[in-house]
Amino acid sequence: MPTCAPIGTALLTPTEMAEADRLTIESGISGWQLMSAAGRAVAGVAAEMVALPGPVACLAGPGNNGGDAYVAAANLREQGFAVRVFALGDPERLAGDAAFARAAWNAEIEPLAAFEADQFSLIIDGLFGAGLSRALDGEVANCVERANACRTPILSIDLPSGVAGDSGVVLGTAFKARRTISFFRAKPGHRLEPGRSLCGEITIRPIGILPDVLQTIRPRTFDNDPNLWGRALRWPADAGHKYDRGHAVILSGGASKTGAARLAANAALRAGAGLVTVFSPASAVLVHAAHLTAAMIKRCEGASELDTHLADERLNAFVLGPGFGVGAKARDAARLILEKARALVLDADGITSYADDPRALFALAREAGKKASETRLVMTPHAGEFKRLFPDLASSEGAKLEQAREAAARAHSIVVLKGRDTVIAEPGGRAAINSTGTPWLATAGTGDVLTGMIVAQLAQGTPAFEAACAGVWMHGKAAEAFGPGLIAEDLAPMLPKVFGDLARLMDET
Ligand SMILES: NC(=O)C1=CN([C@@H]2O[C@H](COP(=O)(O)OP(=O)(O)OC[C@H]3O[C@@H](n4cnc5c(N)ncnc54)[C@H](O)[C@@H]3O)[C@@H](O)[C@H]2O)[C@H](O)CC1
Ligand SMILES: [K+]
């Protein structure tokens, strides 16, 4: 097995994090050292959140998350804060490092029932972290709800208690933290909703865990950032030709539904495709001609004309779906494109067209992948479209990361499961979670723009997973760059700034 470090910023599940802990301890750094560093880091963030003398409440659970809270409590006391500790369960029953931590606190420990949230300037949540194993209920759920109801800021250790580290799902109920501090690497639950929103501002601190452990753990989930795909992205060569940058094709719907194709076409040009052609039914050619300038237009009435056009092998990446219409015409087009092993971004109507027979699409993607020796299909469903192709997976409540991963394997394709926390998954199991973007992206046509940004990377020869990740990232960055008041047309004009920022980022790394 190769032991090279993973490329990208890894996100570790609680199980992988426990393994990171174990491997570090095995290499000679004690668990107590790790917990001491973690607790001190918690106290450091707490001191940024509240002025002396507090008061600060430390809620300590029955495991090592509670251990971190005891260390933080002792450290804050040393700094002069008034600290009270409230424990869940019998503190005498703590074991291992957490028992050491309790001993270091060496002062009164009150029962959780005595905790009154509104009497404090800060609440430190050390009830459960990576070890959360069931839904919060009874006394604990009650405590969480009382804390959330008052205005006292909450600092969660590792995760807001109640948030599952591997999925971001809430088990029972969960703290709504102002800030969350975690250690070494973030977890999927910090990035996936609703966990992401419940964390507030997230701080990740090193506590002595050795990055080398990642070579053994071989994580499969990553932050969607340029560390993951930046080196795979193609930039125009100094003496390059436009054909070196690929020729993307956007298949347009009929005369009354042409806007979606143009949004995709303009985005594809800005995102770096050398040439972009809109394939249009005869009825819509003039509508496109009235609006498009750099993008070209070609009449394409149906399957036989598409087949003829596909003889030009320079047409290497396609978008099918936005405004296209649902039905046999879309299926014929997808089949012809994939049979020729061209890259295809399938969205909207293109996805829905396979609702009755998703397996037919998956088989086409498998064959195209075999023929090209790389994944050829990128699907960009939102939750509703995802459910049409993967009804069984969609019924597993909230487990978005695993849903996307299984769907990608089943469909032999890259699955971009959209949302605030878009997940991009590949058939081999690698997945990325995106964090760029703003709520203003929830507006008509932004999905069409995304297909254009992805197809541009495919046209330039970037492998499908990296192409999809880069497209999703820059789409969100473009929204951030524009700010409030965004409509779909505003995204592509932001790309020059996004590429400028990306180039600077790449130079720095
Ligand atoms: N490398 C690191 O990141 C380090 C992390 N540290 C901290 O350790 C915790 C994980 O500790 P662990 O003991 O494995 O789990 P927890 O403390 O989160 O909880 C386990 C404890 O809680 C009980 N429990 C679970 N769910 C419930 C529930 N719903 N209701 C009641 N009780 C529940 C379970 O039975 C156990 O008793 C990690 O998050 C970090 O904060 C270390 O400090 C070192 C380095
Ligand atoms: K916690």
Per-residue pLDDT of 39-60, as tens digits, reads 999 999 999 999 999 899 999 9
Q: Of 102, 77, 107, whose CA–CA distance to 88 is shortest?
A: 102
- In the structure, what pLDDT confidence band is assigned to residue 508 with cuts at 50, 70 and 90? confident
- Give the number of other CB atoms < 10 A from CB of residue 348: 25
Q: Which residue matches tokens 């004690």? A: 30
Helical residues (DSSP H) of 171-310, grouped into ranges:
188-191, 195-199, 213-217, 226-229, 259-270, 285-289, 303-309
d(CA 238, CA 246) in angstroms, rounded, equals 16
d(CA 181, CA 127) in angstroms, rounded, equals 14
SS (H, E, C) 240-279: CCHHHHCEEEEECCCCCCCHHHHHHHHHHHHCCCCEEEEE
d(CA 332, CA 134) in angstroms, rounded, equals 48
Q: Whose CA is nearest to atom 39 of ligand 1?
A: 129
4 has pLDDT over 80? no
Q: Chain-wide mean pLDDT for the chain? A: 95
Q: Is the distance from CB of 430 to CB of 7 less than 8 angstroms?
A: no
| 215 Cβ neighbours under 8 A, 6+ residues apart | 3, 4, 5, 6
Testing ligand 1's pocket by substitution, the residue of 128, 170, 214 carrying the most ligand atoms inside 8 A of its CB is 128
- In the structure, what pLDDT confidence band is assigned to residue 3 with cuts at 50, 70 and 90? very low
Q: What pLDDT was estimated at residue 202?
A: 98
Q: Which amino acid is at 99?
A: A
Q: Say how many Å lie between the CA of residue 159 and the centre of ligand 1.
A: 10
65 lines ligand 1 (CB under 6 A): yes
Q: Which amino acid is at 9?
A: T
Q: Say how many Å lie between the CA of residue 505 and the centre of ligand 2.
A: 33
127 lines ligand 1 (CB under 6 A): no
Testing ligand 1's pocket by substitution, the residue of 58, 65, 93 carrying the most ligand atoms inside 8 A of its CB is 65
Q: Say how many Å lie between the CA of residue 141 and the centre of ligand 2.
A: 13
d(CA 20, CA 7) in angstroms, rounded, equals 17
68 lines ligand 1 (CB under 6 A): yes
N- to C-terminal Cα distance for the chain? 27
Q: What pLDDT was estimated at residue 411?
A: 98
- In the structure, what pLDDT confidence band is assigned to residue 6 with cuts at 50, 70 and 90? low
Q: What pLDDT was estimated at residue 379?
A: 98
d(CA 417, CA 502) in angstroms, rounded, equals 24
Helical residues (DSSP H) of 79-175, grouped into ranges:
96-105, 138-149
Task: Please write the tens of the pLDDT for every residue from 296-342.
Answer: 999 999 899 999 999 999 999 999 999 999 999 999 999 999 999 99
147 lines ligand 1 (CB under 6 A): no
Task: Please write the tens of the pLDDT for every residue from 99-155.
Answer: 999 999 999 999 999 999 999 999 999 999 999 999 999 999 999 999 999 999 999
Domain boundaries, the chain: 20-217, 226-234+244-508
94 lines ligand 1 (CB under 6 A): no
d(CA 200, CA 215) in angstroms, rounded, equals 30
- Select 20-217's CATH number: 3.90.1200.10, 3.40.50.10260, 3.40.50.300, 3.40.50.720: 3.40.50.10260
- In the structure, what pLDDT confidence band is assigned to residue 1 with cuts at 50, 70 and 90? very low
**96 annotated ligand-binding residue:** no
- Select 226-234+244-508's CATH number: 3.30.1330.200, 3.30.479.30, 3.40.1190.20, 3.20.20.70: 3.40.1190.20
Q: Is the distance from CB of 451 to CB of 242 less than 8 angstroms?
A: no
d(CA 490, CA 509) in angstroms, rounded, equals 29
* CB crowding 206-236: b at 16 or more within 10 Å, else e: ebebeeebbeebebbbbbbbbbbbbebbbee
d(CA 455, CA 462) in angstroms, rounded, equals 10
Q: Whose CA is nearest to atom 1 of ligand 1?
A: 21
- In the structure, what pLDDT confidence band is assigned to residue 355 with cuts at 50, 70 and 90? very high
d(CA 200, CA 476) in angstroms, rounded, equals 19
Testing ligand 1's pocket by substitution, the residue of 71, 132, 163, 180 carrying the most ligand atoms inside 8 A of its CB is 132
Q: Say how many Å lie between the CA of residue 81 and the centre of ligand 2.
A: 21
Q: Percent of the chain, pLDDT > 70? A: 99
Check: complex ipTM more than 0.85: yes
100 lines ligand 1 (CB under 6 A): no
- In the structure, what pLDDT confidence band is assigned to residue 2 with cuts at 50, 70 and 90? very low
Pick from 239-243, 363-367, 403-407: least confident:
239-243
**133 annotated ligand-binding residue:** yes
Q: Of 393, 376, 387, 384, whose CA–CA distance to 468 is shortest?
A: 376
The Cα-based distances of 169 to 102, 327, 425 in angstroms read 30, 36, 19
39 lines ligand 1 (CB under 6 A): no
Q: Whose CA is nearest to atom 9 of ligand 1?
A: 65
Token pair, residue 10, equals: 């890894």
Q: Which residue matches tokens 């609703």? A: 194
**392 annotated ligand-binding residue:** no
- In the structure, what pLDDT confidence band is assigned to residue 244 with cuts at 50, 70 and 90? confident
User: Is the peptide bond preceding residue 91 cis, with omega within 30 degrees of 0?
Assistant: no
To the nearest 10 degrees (0 to 180), the angle between helices 31-49 and 14-26 is: 120
Q: What pLDDT was estimated at residue 235?
A: 84
Helical residues (DSSP H) of 319-426, grouped into ranges:
328-339, 348-352, 358-372, 383-389, 391-394, 400-411
Q: Whose CA is nearest to atom 41 of ligand 1?
A: 65
Task: Please write the tens of the pLDDT for every residue from 175-214.
Answer: 999 999 999 999 999 999 999 999 999 999 999 999 999 9
